[in-house]
Amino acid sequence: MNPKEIAAQQAVQFIEEGMIVGLGTGSTAYWAIQQIGQRVQAGLHIRAVASSQSSEDLAKQAGIPMVEFSEITSIDLTIDGADEVDDQLNLIKGGGGALLREKIIAFHSKRFIVIVDESKRVEHLGRFSLPVEIVPFASNLTINRLTELDCKPQLRLDNGKEFVTDNGNWIVDCKFEKILLPQELGAQIHSIPGVVEHGLFVQMASSVVVGYKDGSTKILS
Ligand code: 5RP
């Protein structure tokens, strides 16, 4: 098993009968969805919501019953990946472009378990470019303002055209030096009109399951 699969396997054990489960997005969340599917096939009754169209498609293929957001008031447990995790369990997310839906789901979750391989652990956030979702309208002005926050912003492209999120927006990947004050930086980014959401998840994770190459896992909380 690879470290992502091992971390996913450990996290999926926290799912209990009857729960509403939030499904993350990305190559680590993929393994969680597969393993939740196996538990459902083995008789576990849960209902799930997904943080992206791709994860919803995967969940349906895996036989996981989905529930409409209009039918729920909260989510019991969400399992999702991350691009970076620091020692305070702050995260950078959005490498897959699903950060807005991921943050909405994480915010409404009683428990938010993050699954990563060891390569995602950092002392300070910022090695990975911070994804920021912006509306396409006047995007050059929004991007100019992001530059003023001492980062190098790059509009994300997909086959030479703007990458479009599930919400019809664009992503700007912002390369910062070390992000020492993620809460403050997040507030500054949010203050720019045109920004929809950013990929800093500050003090949102309940715990982080780290998978290692030797097959072991460690739970940070
Ligand atoms: C998608 C995300 C992913 O969780 C993040 O990019 C990690 O992905 P992976 O598990 O493929 O490394 O935030 O928007």
User: Could you tell me the pLDDT band of residue 217, with boundaries at 50, 70 and 90?
Assistant: very high
**Is residue 1's pLDDT more than 90?**
no
Q: What is the pLDDT of residues 97-122, one digit of tens each?
A: 999 999 999 999 999 999 999 999 99
Which atom of ligand 1 is found nearest the CA of 99?
Answer: 14
For residue 91, which of 217, 212, 200 has the smallest C-alpha distance? 200
Q: What are phi and psi of 32, to 5 degrees?
A: -65, -45
Helix H, strand E, coil C: the string for the chain is: CCHHHHHHHHHHCCCCCCCEEEECCCHHHHHHHHHHHHHHHCCCCCEEEECCHHHHHHHHHCCCCECCHHHCCCEEEEEECCCEECCCCCEECCCCCCHHHHHHHHHCEEEEEEEEEHHHECCCECCCCEEEEECCCCHHHHHHHHHCCCCEEEECEECCEECECCCCCEEEEEECCCECCHHHHHHHHHCCCCEEEECEECCCCCEEEEECCCCCEEEEC
What is the distance in A from the centroid of ligand 1 to the CA of 209? 14
Tens-digit pLDDT profile for residues 10-42: 999 999 999 999 999 999 999 999 999 999 999
Cα 72 from Cα 89, distance rounded (Å)? 27
Give, using CA atoms, the residue closest to atom 4 of ligand 1: 81
* C-alpha to C-alpha distance for 174 and 181, rounded to whole angstroms: 15
Q: Give dist(CA 102, CA 93) in Å, integer.
A: 8
**Closest to 29 in 3D by CA, of 74, 65, 69, 62:** 62
Question: Which amino acid residue places its CA nearest to atom 10 of ligand 1?
Answer: 28
Reported confidence tier of residue 164, pLDDT bands at 50, 70, 90: very high
Give the nearest ligand 1 atom to 97 CA: 14
Asked if residues 155 and 98 have their Cβ atoms less than 8 Å apart, the reply is: no
Binding site members: 25-28, 80-83, 93-96, 120
Instruction: Look up the pTM and report it.
Output: 0.97
- 133 labelled catalytic: no
Residues marked as binding for substrate? Answer: 25-28, 80-83, 93-96, 120
Q: Tell me which of 5, 56, 84, 102 is the catalytic residue.
A: 102
Phi, psi of 78 (to 5 degrees): -120, 140
Residue nearest to atom 5 of ligand 1 (CA): 82
Beta bridge partners of 125: 179
Residue 163 Cα to ligand 1 midpoint, Å, equals: 16
Kindly list the protein residues whose Cβ atom lies closer than 6 A to any atom of ligand 1. 24-29, 80-83, 93-99, 102
Which one of 54, 79, 83 would you pick to mutate in the ligand 1 pocket, going by the greatest count of ligand atoms within 8 A of its CB? 83
**Spatial contact of 85 and 116, defined as CB atoms under 8 Å apart:** yes
ipTM value for the complex: 0.99
